[in-house]
Amino acid sequence: MTRRTTWANRMGTVVAALFLEACRGVQSALAPQGIDAERVAGLFWVMTIGAALILILVMFVTALALFGPESWRRWLSRDGIIVAGGIVFPVTTLTALLGYGFVLTSIGDSRPGGESIKIAVVGERWWWRVIYRDSAGRRIESANELRIPVGRPVEIELTSADVIHSFWAPKLAGKLDMIPGRKNVLTLMAKEAGVSRGQCAEYCGGAHALMAFYVVALPQPEFERWLAHEAEPASAPPTPQALAGMTLFAASGCGACHAIRGTPAAGAIGPDLTHVGGRLSLAAATLPNDEAAFARWIKDNQHIKPGNLMPPYGIFSDSELAAVSNYLASLR
């Protein structure tokens, strides 16, 4: 094994540990890991407590109107109570809230952390095409997973290849739509290393429910090493079985839709598979990433994600399927 793959394996273990730890609430806006999500969570608690107090107040006044002593009820029945409760009170509280909201909207623009990095994400039915650029400006394509450095602003350029999608990683920031013909930019920043999950939040037809992704926030140095690794072409098949899988992959026309850099496969319709084995999930966070899942997906993907563009490959024998799966899983 080369030094590079050892490193990739160790890295995989770290990420898996983070993943397990974060599994509950992995998509919760109330367990923020980014500064934007954290501000909104704070806003949520302020507003919820305020709303609860108002609800209690209104219910208390209603109870007084119903069962209170005569003098209280007389006092409550004046026109003035409508002006006070229906006009003065909401105007005051809402003005304060609006101000708070404005402040929150505007501090998004002035964030610390130095120069931002840019990642392009394209919404497709029903997966995410992710495009990084390294410092040399090289285009590095991946899919269904974002890796970002901690403590640096990340500008995510959002576009769509077909219908409207919405990019939402709740633990990091709010959502922003991906609209055909438009380009939206979402800026977010992770506060700590960790794995979180995101999901398409605009109904995009068919398998909308199965269009999710993972975001892995890594310390800056590790992010850079990961990106450098990601930029490299696919590793050679490490075992004879994987080699057989590679041959089958090429012979079965998989390369018409999928690209594996460093091999003749250069398709652009489906996800780039150059380092697919190193991702946390398959099929846009629908399946775990292991050989069994690859096999299931190749054979049975129309049941797992009905309507997706990939045809089910029933042509493979069990051993062939195992070989292709083994090859793909080896692409770390």
Partner 1 sequence: MDADRSPAKLPSETPRPAGEREELQRIWARPSGWRMFTAVNNTDIGLFYMGAAFLFFLLAGVLALLMRTQLARGDNSFIGQNLYNQIFTVHGTTMMFLFAVPAIEALGVILLPQMLAARDLPFPRLSAFAIWAYVIGGLVFFLTIFVDLAPNGGWFMYPPLTLTEFSPGDNADFWLLGIGFIEISAIAGAIEIVVGTLRTRPPGMSLDKMPLFAWAMLIFAAMIVFAFPAVIFGTLLLEIERSFGWPFFTAAKGGDALLWQHLFWFFGHPEVYIIFLPAAALVSMIVPTMARTPLVGYRLNVVALIATGFFSFGLWVHHMFSTGIPALSLGFFSAVSMTIAIPSGIQVFSWIATIAAGRDRFKITTPSLFVFGFLFIFVIGGLTGVMVAVAPFDFQVHDTYFVVAHFHYVLVGGMVFPLFATYYYWAPMVSRNMLSEKRGRWVFWLMFIGFNTAFFPMHITGLMGMPRRVWTYPSGMGWDALNMISTVGAFILAAGVLLFVIDLFLRLRPGEQGPENPWGAGTLEWLATDVYSTRSIPHVASREPLWDQPNLAADVEAGAYYLPNAPTGGRETIVTSPIEGDPQYVIRMIGPGWAHFFAAAFTAAFFLLLTIKLVTPALLCGVLAILSCFVWVWELDRGPGKGPVDIGGGFRLPTYVTGPTSHAWWAMVVLMLVAGSLYITYVFSYLYLWTVNPQVWPPTGSPPPPSVEWAAFSAALLIASVVAFVTADRLLPAPQSMNPWAPALMLIGAACLVGAVVVEIDAHWQTGLRATESSYAAMVYMESVLTGELAFTVAIMTAYGLARYFTGKMDCVRRVTFESTALLTYYTAAQGLFGLLLVNGFPRIIG
Ranges within 142-201 binding partner 1 (CB under 8 A): 162-164, 166, 168, 170, 173-177, 179-182, 184, 197, 199-201
Residues near 282 by beta carbon (within 8 Å), at least 6 away in sequence: 144, 276, 288, 289, 293, 294, 297
Interactions with partner 1, residue window 116-135 (CB under 8 A): 125
Binding to partner 1 by residue 38, rule CB under 8 A? no
- Contact flag: residue 17 with partner 1 (CB under 8 A): no
Between 9 and 203, CB nearer to partner 1: 203
Closer residue to partner 1, CB minimum distance, 254 or 304: 304
Minimum CB–partner distance for residue 135 and partner 1 (Å): 28
Nearer to partner 1, 142 or 281 (CB): 281
User: Which of 28, 116, 187, 252 is the binder for partner 1 (CB under 8 A)?
Assistant: 28
Of 5 and 184, CB closest to partner 1: 184
Looking at 113, 151, 206, 312, which residue binds partner 1 (CB under 8 A)? 206
Member of 17, 49, 90, 92 binding partner 1 (CB under 8 A): 90
Judged by CB under 8 A, the chain residues 269 through 328 that form the site for partner 1 are 306-307
Nearer CB in complex with partner 1: 281/330 = 281
C-beta of 10 vs 183, nearer to partner 1:
183
Smallest separation (angstroms) from partner 1 to the CB of 288: 10
Span interacting with partner 1, options 116-124, 208-216, 242-250, 319-327, rule CB under 8 A: 208-216
Helical packing angle, 318-330 and 240-251, nearest 10°? 100
SS (H, E, C) the chain: CCHHHHHHHHHHHHHHHHHHHCCCCCCCCCCCCEHHHHHHHHHHHHHHHHHHHHHHHHHHHHHHHHHCCHHHHHHHCCHHHHHHHHHHHHHHHHHHHHHHHHHHHHHCCCCCCCCCEEEEEEEECCEEEEEEECCCCCEEEEECEEEEEECCCEEEEEEECCCCEEECCCCCCCCEEECCCCCEEEEECECCCEEEEEECCCCCCCCHHHCEEEEEEECHHHHHHHHHHHHCCCCCCCCHHHHHHHHHHHHCCHHHCCECCCCCCECCCCCCCCCHHHCCEECCCCEECCHHHHHHHHHHHHHHCCCCCCCCCCCCCHHHHHHHHHHHHHCC
- Tell me the closest approach of the beta carbon of residue 205 to partner 1, in angstroms: 5
Confirm or reject binding of residue 141 to partner 1 (CB under 8 A): no
Tokens 């109904």, residue? 203
Task: Please give the residues from 59 up to 88 whose contact with partner 1 meets the rule CB under 8 A.
Answer: 59, 61-62, 64-68, 72-79, 81-87
Q: Which stretch binds partner 1 (CB under 8 A): 4-12, 35-43, 114-122, 224-232?
A: 35-43
Closest to partner 1 by CB, 55 or 251: 55
Q: Which of residues 205 and 253 has its CB atom nearest to partner 1 in the complex? A: 205
